[in-house]
Structure 1
Amino acid sequence: MTCAIALIAASAYATPSMHKAPTYAEMQAYRARPLKELQALADGGDNVAADALGLAYRDGIGVEIDLDRARAIFEKGVAAGDPEAMTDLAGLYYAGLGVPVDYAKFIALNQQAADLGYSDGYLNLGDAYRDGKAVPRDYAKAMAMYKKAHSLNGSPYALSGLARLYMDGSGVTADAAHATTLYQQAADAGFAPAHTDMAIVYEYGLTGQKDMKRARAEYETAAAMGEPYAMYWLGKAAMDGRDVAVDQAKGIDWVRKAADRGFAEARNALGDAYFSGYGVKEDQAEAFLWYHRAALQGFAEAQRNLGLMYAGGLGVKQDAAQALVWLKRGAEQGDAIAQNRVGLIYHNGSGVAADLPEAMKWYSLAADQGNGDAQYNLALIYEEGGKGVTSDLAKAYTLYRKAADGGDVAAQVRVGNMLMDGDGVKADGKQAQTYLLNAAKQGNATAENSLGYMYQTGQGVAADGAKAVDWYEKAAAHGNATAMYNLGYIYFYGAPVARDYTKAKTWFEKAAAAGQDDANYYLGLIYYEGDGVEVNYAKAFPLFMKGAERGDSWSQHYVGQSYLNGDGVTKDDKAGFEWEQKSAQQGNSWAQNQLGYMYRHGQGVEKDDAKGVDWYRKAADQGLTDAQENIAYLYLNGEGVEKNEAEGFKWYRRAADAGAESALTQVAILYLSGRGTKQDIPAGLDILKRQSEKSADGLATLGLVYLNGVGVDIDFAQALPLLSRAAAEGDAYGQYKLGTMYEYAMGVRQDRVTALKWYLLAAAQKDEDAAAAVKAIKKDMSLFDVSKAQGLAKTFAVTPHQNKLAAAS
């Protein structure tokens, strides 16, 4: 245990001038006198009374703190040659009380007092050399100063100063026993703070075993002599139940006694009590007053608390400027919490211009002291980067890791996520899970959500849908809106759990109610597409609009679609164009493709082929196969661009390679016809045969090849069974073309009834060619035959597709 403990006691009775002539007891007696009496004595030339008066204004004893008046009294004494006033004025410059910190003036004033043979000047110089703050640390000089002070008038404070050097082994061999003897000598000389030093020796067992009974006895002796730190200690002990039963009232009484004697830490503690209502009635205004008194005395924690009161408008009118002033004062004294809060102010631009480098400066000071919040905030800046700061994920990870290992739960979540994703560090699923589990055990919903994501995606762990749902539900139960959204998402898409639109809708509704805006888009989609519910465009539109107005590109796209189709809103091509444009400008490829169509056809905007092609290309370059097929069509037919069949084939091939079956069909047809590529009939037929195994559309396409003779000879015998199967499986175009074969006796005997049946079925699927054919063929048919065809169409049932080839070869 170092002497830093003893310094707590020493700081109680002066800052930094520790012991003053006359004796400690005599000065305490002076300071206990009424202010008017001190003023009268000072006016009569009593220097001790003048010094006591200045200290009263400095510490706010019997009067509110007035540092300017205290300084004026001390300066008057200095001008009159009073060495006590010199040391007191020096104390103001040391602590920056009412004046800027000025260590040079502190040293000069104390040296001036010492040169007058005043022991306190030597004592303060000794403290300065011991602490190494105002001058370079020099324990030999410190000891010489203490000895000189003791030689002048037997100063008991000098004995305490020497005792601290021996207790710490500062410049001498550590000797706790000798230090204790010196403390005892000072105490026996009536120096109350030495009793407090003795109490600390017993409390912490600095010379052997702890002895709280003797420690308490020494604290009580010191308190009875008016020593404020001892009073404060007794108060805190009663409030905290330290070796005694908790007694809030008694504790507050002792703390208030210490506060009334000007002890800043006790005043701050009273502020805490009034702020929290501990031992007294909660009163933020009263808390503010006590914090303010302690802050004016230069107590860093009180300055921080005062700044927070101003920042939050607690007990005082909210004032961002004053908040920064007081937080900075605490921060400049090394208070890590204040340093972090100053960093936050510059980080967020709260009442000042945002300044990331300045924020980082303050965060760094606090982070270096191990403040987890500051480490986290500094990491956040390195992660995100910004004006004047380059993103550095490796540095961000290092700082998050420090905060996480120090117990910061939010940092544990970030470390877990960075390890999961490999951001700034090599991906490590096992470590990621360890950090996230640690945070989750503490009830952190974000960590629970991240664990759900790991199990959903199999990122760092084996994918497990049940565990993903379990973790998401835990996070959702803790109010995590993202987890609610994720549950909706996995049930909507059916991965890695069974698709369940009802559950998806429920979770999306909960997420939306909890403020997760993306959930509104999916709710809109559910109503728009009829997923698990009846299609309801009127419900879908306002849900899409919520997302659209906040800038979500997919919501904007569907608002555009709703206006273009009149879904849930009056049809309005111009409004549709405007919303599709907003979405497209954010890079939404579907909206870009839609804009391409609208410019090409003049829908909602003036026709402009060049812009249409440009938007198609933007979407195509993003890999949207619909857009790639549109580009291919334009090049193949020379619409809006110079005709280039090879370029058209390239784009169809690109879309086909991305999995677009319709593009693969076009590739096959181009192989058959030799357009844009070298004719390759076997390759074309091979593609179409493979597609016919997959779908009714494939069957219809292959049938049309033989029906129309695309790259092959017209072959009705090959076309008929292919189109018959396609029609039976419900393909509208196959039904229409099969109808033409029966109407015009193409490889079959003419049969208008059968032809009308297939036309009716295709027209029911909105095939426009079939609808026109229905009108035309009815003119040549009897009502009986029409009725017969309608009956056949009515009883038609789709045949499921089978993966086998028809009679084509």
Structure 2
Amino acid sequence: MGQFLFLLALCALGVRFWPSEDLAQPEQDLQARTCHRLTELRQLAAAGRVAAMVTLGQSFEMGHGLEQNPDSARAWFRKAADAGSAEGAWQLAILLAADTSPPEAEIRELLNRAARSGHAAAGWKLGDAWESALGGPASPDSAFSWYRRAAQAGVDEARTSLALCYVSGIGCTPDTVRALGWMQSAADAGSARAQSWLGRWRLSLLTPADSLQALHDLREAAVKGEGQARVQLASLLGQGPLAWRNERESAFWLRLAAHSGEVAAWTPWARCLEWGRGTRASTREARQWYQRAAEAGDGLAALRLGRMHREGRGGRNSRQQALGWFLKAQQLGETEALHELGRTFEHGARPGDARWQGAVAWYRVGVQRNQLDCQLALARMLHRAPASADEELEAWALLENAADRDHREARLELGRWLLEAEPENGGAARAWQLFQQAIAQGSRDALYTSGQMRLRGQGVPRDRHEAFRFFHRAAERGLAEAWRELGNCYRFGWGTATDFRQAEQCFAQARLLGAEVPPP
């Protein structure tokens, strides 16, 4: 294919072309002819033919008939550009942009020269330079103007950029109709970026027809390699409507996006690897991807990486490494990291020691930032070992506040405290209300405790049938203690018919899940 493109370029320059039957000659003959063509090409370039200069530059850049040599490519592109070639200026700008430290001002000047000479693609990238302040000041008006000129000249990506200007009002008045018109035009011409944007926009309309079209648009863009489309498509396939869900395909697109350098895919792909969702589980690889994402500034990745280090998943456990990543996550704005920092200090701590004080300190920072998990954890610590009556009062106040703010575990904990502290003074009735609220939020522990209250008539009328139903619901959600109590119901006929065989099956399930079951 490379030889064909090279021959085609020579043909366009007027270089003598051999008859087609010569193409069947041995490889050495083909190489000899290539050297002869290069000689002719050099002669044309020396005679001032700028097209020959550009073709020589491309040959050195791509290694077509020559050994790759970026310096020689740059030199020939510069000669062509200095001779007034728009294509030479464009190719030199592209080559310079790939440098480790690209000369932004020179790139902008080259794009300007090429664009003003009628090079449409250079006009599009010049619009990018004006929008992003590459190599000079930003100017939304100039960006819009160059995008429009390039779009009208048929550059598909310029149409997408122009549409985004109309969306956001960059250099123009926002105009949704024009934005959609240009975006659809770019998508119809095959722009993956436009197809991706249209897919995301149609999803926001929340109509079945638009959602199906969105799925189609995103898939088209993903197939063409558009990274954002791959991430969005993976999200739809993993978490969208049930009819669309396909964990394996979701993981497939995330893997492609992650390996192609789409930073937004790194954390979700790591999560797939961590839990084996749609792909083979590998906690070691998950750690690596979380670390890449965390080092790129993803706070959620840093948080999850800290947990893996603390728990020893994907490698040896390291409390210091965990603390380091939790600190980074907190610095990146993940308030949940404050709770994890407190938990890490609290593990193995004794009341009053350095770890205990460290945990309290981090939980207090979390409370100041309205982190409800920190509020619950601090309340538990102060209640467990209050240094004074004021700390006991603070614990109750913290828990009440978290429960009032709909924190499920805080409601469950407050209900338990009330049952212990003042069961006969309205505490049990209040606890019952809290447990029902927690049940509505999906708490299986609240189901179990409600069953206990019904069985004993604690704060509510005794009702063994109702207790049986609570235990049954909690057991269905995998709570070991609920299976044990369900076995007792079958064994003693509480709320159901006595059934020793069924009771033993329940006890066996409870043991399997880790609950202690007394001998018969």
2:124 aligned residue: 232
- 2:86 is the counterpart of 1:192: yes
2:397 aligned residue: 506
The structure having more radius of gyration, on CA atoms, is 1
Q: State which of 3, 6, 12 in structure 2 corresponds to 1:119.
A: 12
Structure 1's 427 and 327: CA in aligned 2 closer, same or farther, altered over 3 A?
same
State how far apart, in whole Å, the 2-side matches of 1:174 and 1:623 are. 68
1:302 aligned residue: 194
State how far apart, in whole Å, the 1-side matches of 2:423 and 2:492 are. 35
Give, in angstroms, the shift of residue 320 of structure 1: 3.0
Give, in angstroms, the shift of residue 257 of structure 1: 1.8
Give the secondary-structure state (helix, strand or coil) at the position aligned to 1:334: coil
Give, in angstroms, the shift of residue 446 of structure 1: 2.1
- 2:278 is the counterpart of 1:427: no
Structure 1's 610 and 361: CA in aligned 2 closer, same or farther, altered over 3 A?
closer
The one-letter code of the counterpart of 1:540 is A
- 2:425 is the counterpart of 1:530: no
Give the secondary-structure state (helix, strand or coil) at the position aligned to 2:154: coil
Structure 1's 218 and 603: CA in aligned 2 closer, same or farther, altered over 3 A?
closer
Q: Which TM-score applies when normalising by structure 1?
A: 0.53
Give, in angstroms, the shift of residue 419 of structure 1: 0.5
Give, in angstroms, the shift of residue 574 of structure 1: 1.8
Q: State which of 205, 211, 228 in structure 2 corresponds to 1:313.
A: 205
CA contact (8 A) 2:107 2:135 kept: no
The one-letter code of the counterpart of 1:395 is E
CA contact (8 A) 1:143 1:162 kept: no
State how far apart, in whole Å, the 2-side matches of 1:143 and 1:353 are. 59
Give, in angstroms, the shift of residue 181 of structure 1: 4.7
Give the secondary-structure state (helix, strand or coil) at the position aligned to 1:322: helix
2:380 aligned residue: 489
CA shift digits 1:732-786 (9 cap, x unpaired)? xxxxxxxxxxxxxxxxxxxxxxxxxxxxxxxxxxxxxxxxxxxxxxxxxxxxxxx
2:302 aligned residue: 412
1:274 aligned residue: 166
State how far apart, in whole Å, the 2-side matches of 1:309 and 1:248 are. 23
State how far apart, in whole Å, the 2-side matches of 1:500 and 1:362 are. 52
Give, in angstroms, the shift of residue 599 of structure 1: 4.5
1:396 aligned residue: 286
Structure 1 spans left out of the alignment, 5+ residues = 1-102, 123-137, 635-809
State how far apart, in whole Å, the 1-side matches of 2:98 and 2:484 are. 80
Q: State which of 248, 260, 264 in structure 2 corresponds to 1:357.
A: 248
Give, in angstroms, the shift of residue 167 of structure 1: 5.1
Give, in angstroms, the shift of residue 429 of structure 1: 1.1
Structure 1's 588 and 210: CA in aligned 2 closer, same or farther, altered over 3 A?
closer
CA contact (8 A) 1:146 1:162 kept: no
Give, in angstroms, the shift of residue 182 of structure 1: 5.6
Q: 5 Å matches for 1:340-355?
A: 340-350=231-241, 353-355=244-246
> What is the CA RMSD across the aligned residues, in angstroms?
4.5
The one-letter code of the counterpart of 1:192 is A
Higher share in helix = 2
1:800 aligned residue: none
Give, in angstroms, the shift of residue 577 of structure 1: 2.4
Structure 1's 307 and 241: CA in aligned 2 closer, same or farther, altered over 3 A?
same
Structure 1's 503 and 621: CA in aligned 2 closer, same or farther, altered over 3 A?
farther
The one-letter code of the counterpart of 1:412 is A
State how far apart, in whole Å, the 1-side matches of 2:58 and 2:418 are. 78
Give, in angstroms, the shift of residue 498 of structure 1: 9.2
2:23 aligned residue: none
CA contact (8 A) 1:417 1:432 kept: yes
Q: 5 Å matches for 1:557-706?
A: 557-584=448-475, 586=477, 588=479, 590-592=481-483, 594-595=485-486, 598-599=489-490, 601-608=492-499, 628=518, 631=519
- 2:338 is the counterpart of 1:444: no
Q: State which of 186, 202, 221 in structure 2 corresponds to 1:330.
A: 221
2:20 aligned residue: none
Structure 1's 223 and 613: CA in aligned 2 closer, same or farther, altered over 3 A?
closer
Q: Which TM-score applies when normalising by structure 2?
A: 0.78
State how far apart, in whole Å, the 2-side matches of 1:575 and 1:244 are. 74
Give, in angstroms, the shift of residue 217 of structure 1: 5.4
- 2:133 is the counterpart of 1:241: yes
The one-letter code of the counterpart of 1:267 is R
1:380 aligned residue: 271
Give, in angstroms, the shift of residue 428 of structure 1: 1.0
State how far apart, in whole Å, the 1-side matches of 2:90 and 2:41 are. 24
Structure 1's 147 and 417: CA in aligned 2 closer, same or farther, altered over 3 A?
farther
Q: State which of 69, 77, 88 in structure 2 corresponds to 1:174.
A: 69
CA contact (8 A) 2:291 2:301 kept: yes
Range that drifts further, 335-344 or 600-609: 600-609
CA contact (8 A) 1:163 1:183 kept: no
The total of aligned residue pairs comes to: 497
The one-letter code of the counterpart of 1:403 is A
State how far apart, in whole Å, the 2-side matches of 1:215 and 1:564 are. 79
Range that drifts further, 514-523 or 608-617: 608-617
CA contact (8 A) 1:502 1:532 kept: no
State how far apart, in whole Å, the 1-side matches of 2:188 and 2:388 are. 63
CA contact (8 A) 1:159 1:186 kept: no
The one-letter code of the counterpart of 2:201 is M
- 2:55 is the counterpart of 1:164: no
State how far apart, in whole Å, the 2-side matches of 1:173 and 1:513 are. 69
Give, in angstroms, the shift of residue 410 of structure 1: 1.5
What percentage of residue pairs aligned between the two structures are identical?
Answer: 25
State how far apart, in whole Å, the 2-side matches of 1:181 and 1:587 are. 72
Q: 5 Å matches for 1:43-62?
A: none
CA contact (8 A) 2:56 2:76 kept: no
The one-letter code of the counterpart of 1:379 is A
- 2:348 is the counterpart of 1:454: no
Structure 1's 149 and 292: CA in aligned 2 closer, same or farther, altered over 3 A?
farther
Structure 2 spans left out of the alignment, 5+ residues = 16-30
Range that drifts further, 470-479 or 410-419: 470-479
CA contact (8 A) 2:74 2:92 kept: no
Give the secondary-structure state (helix, strand or coil) at the position aligned to 2:326: helix
Q: State which of 252, 259, 263 in structure 1 corresponds to 2:155.
A: 263
1:700 aligned residue: none
Give the secondary-structure state (helix, strand or coil) at the position aligned to 2:138: coil
State how far apart, in whole Å, the 1-side matches of 2:119 and 2:514 are. 80
The one-letter code of the counterpart of 1:487 is L
The one-letter code of the counterpart of 1:431 is Q
Structure 1's 287 and 483: CA in aligned 2 closer, same or farther, altered over 3 A?
farther
The one-letter code of the counterpart of 2:409 is D
State how far apart, in whole Å, the 2-side matches of 1:518 and 1:323 are. 38
CA contact (8 A) 1:416 1:435 kept: yes
State how far apart, in whole Å, the 1-side matches of 2:136 and 2:180 are. 30
Structure 1's 317 and 254: CA in aligned 2 closer, same or farther, altered over 3 A?
farther
Give the secondary-structure state (helix, strand or coil) at the position aligned to 1:319: helix
Give, in angstroms, the shift of residue 412 of structure 1: 1.3
CA contact (8 A) 2:58 2:73 kept: no
Give, in angstroms, the shift of residue 434 of structure 1: 1.4
CA contact (8 A) 1:574 1:605 kept: yes
The one-letter code of the counterpart of 2:169 is G
Give, in angstroms, the shift of residue 416 of structure 1: 0.8
Q: 5 Å matches for 1:518-557?
A: 518-530=409-421, 534-549=425-440, 551-557=442-448
State how far apart, in whole Å, the 1-side matches of 2:36 and 2:373 are. 64
Structure 1's 306 and 474: CA in aligned 2 closer, same or farther, altered over 3 A?
farther
State how far apart, in whole Å, the 2-side matches of 1:481 and 1:395 are. 32
CA contact (8 A) 1:274 1:284 kept: yes
